[in-house]
Amino acid sequence: MVTTRFAPSPTGRLHVGNIRTALHNWMLARKNGGRFLLRIDDTDAERSREDYVDAIRADLAWLGLEPDGEERQSQRLALYEAAFENLRDAGRVYPAYETAQELELKRKIQLGRGLPPIYDRAALALTDEDRAAKDAEGIAPHWRFRLDHDEPIRWEDGVRGPQKFDPAQLSDPVIRRADGSWLYMLPSAVDDIDMGVTHVLRGEDHVSNTAVQIQMFTALHAAQETAAEPHPDFAHEALLVGREGKLSKRLGSLGCDAFRERDIEPEALVALLARLGTSMPVEPIAEREKLVESFDLSTFGRAPAKFDDAELERVNTAIVHQLPFEHVAGRLPDGMGEDGWLAVRPNLETVAQAGEYWAIVTGPIAPAELEAEDRAYVGEAAQALEWGEDPWQALTTRLKDSTGRKGKALFLPLRLALTGRASGPDMGAILPLIGEDAARERLAAAAG
């Protein structure tokens, strides 16, 4: 079974890049009848916060991306400890004692010589006596995963195609800090094996991490003597950039709370992000099933995916125009029923604007400022108004016959008198909601 995962760290709110990653993993699982898992990567006890965990769950629920299961890394520490011990016994992890300052100096020297800033594996040359001396000085080691330099690291990437890395050009990654806490690499690989993750879809900034983790998967399987597949299928999608073509701090902080404040519909955000960075057009598709059916990694491109607020607003407006009354009823003003929603919906950019247009029905409205000729005309309309199945059509037909007016001269003074606006919802839909008595009063008032 295809199993994907979304693995945020609860050190902040989800931003638009995280949302896109979660969405694509959810779509990949749904397209294949699989499972979408949420993994809370909360091993950083100092920075992780429970309110962020709650916010992540709430944001996914708002987006309609309900996971099929949830795990928390803080509750899985025994698994990481066991994996670490197995790898240490197999000689695949080793202690290193350099300070951050010493490592930075090494990097500067290498760069100054025109060399890549790769860890020189000096810690592997330490003898048992050297390590005992460090321990005696109270210097606790951090731990690195020893990469196998014998063969290139290869995989077929779902977006980028064939990938090849020379492990000798990669640093042995630090997997555990001197205080015993875990970095991302090893726990993630352990969890992917234990949770049965079959596909990892993430940003292209993780490509080099994937090369390292592929060796970790192989080493973990060997240490556990399992015959499982060596690693999941990997795909790395292009990162989001702003309209100006650069990554911005703004995109890094733009999250569900900001979209909700702007009255963006979750369906609009999903419709945009589902296709962003692919060869398929962004369309205002509210039905998730249609988006899932069209999801295909082969359509993902290598060029940066541009996130444009104007495009989101365009999609949002088109989505609002599709929303049924049942979907929005709880957010509409008191007294607005389905007829009211259908009357104002074509004029809305956001659902929140419905109240502004509903005020046309409930009143009071601003008095219309009409020329004398138009005041006489709306006065005649007050007398000619008769209520029936389609009062607007009946009124305008009668006035056209009696006055000879047509087009703007026929319709605009009536709209101004009845709504106080020069534009707005279709009068055929809005006039029955205003009601006969109120309509007659407004026409008479505008006539002076």
- Annotation: binding site for ATP: 249
pLDDT of amino acid 321:
98
What sign for the dihedral angle of Cα 342, 347, 352, 357? negative
In angstroms, the CA 176 to CA 187 distance is 10
Other C-beta atoms lying within 10 Å of the C-beta of residue 47: 12
pLDDT of amino acid 410:
97
Other C-beta atoms lying within 10 Å of the C-beta of residue 26: 27
pLDDT of amino acid 153:
97
- What is the DSSP-derived secondary structure letter of residue 36? E
Beta-bridge partner residues of 243: none
pLDDT of amino acid 448:
86
Provide CB contacts within 8 A for 407, sequence distance 6+.
none
Alpha helices in 64-194 (DSSP H): 77-89, 100-112, 128-136, 185-194
Within 13 Å, how many C-alpha atoms sit on residue 365's CB side? 25
- What is the DSSP-derived secondary structure letter of residue 135? H
> Given the DSSP bridges, would you call strands 93-96 and 142-145 parallel, antiparallel or unpaired?
antiparallel
pLDDT of amino acid 414:
97
| pLDDT < 70 stretches in the chain | 225-229, 244-250, 252
431 and 392 Cβ atoms separated by less than 8 Å: yes
- pTM value is 0.91
- Annotation: binding site: 249
Other C-beta atoms lying within 10 Å of the C-beta of residue 396: 20
Domains detected in the chain: 241-325 (1.10.1160.10), 331-360 (no CATH), 372-447 (1.10.10.350)
pLDDT of amino acid 367:
82
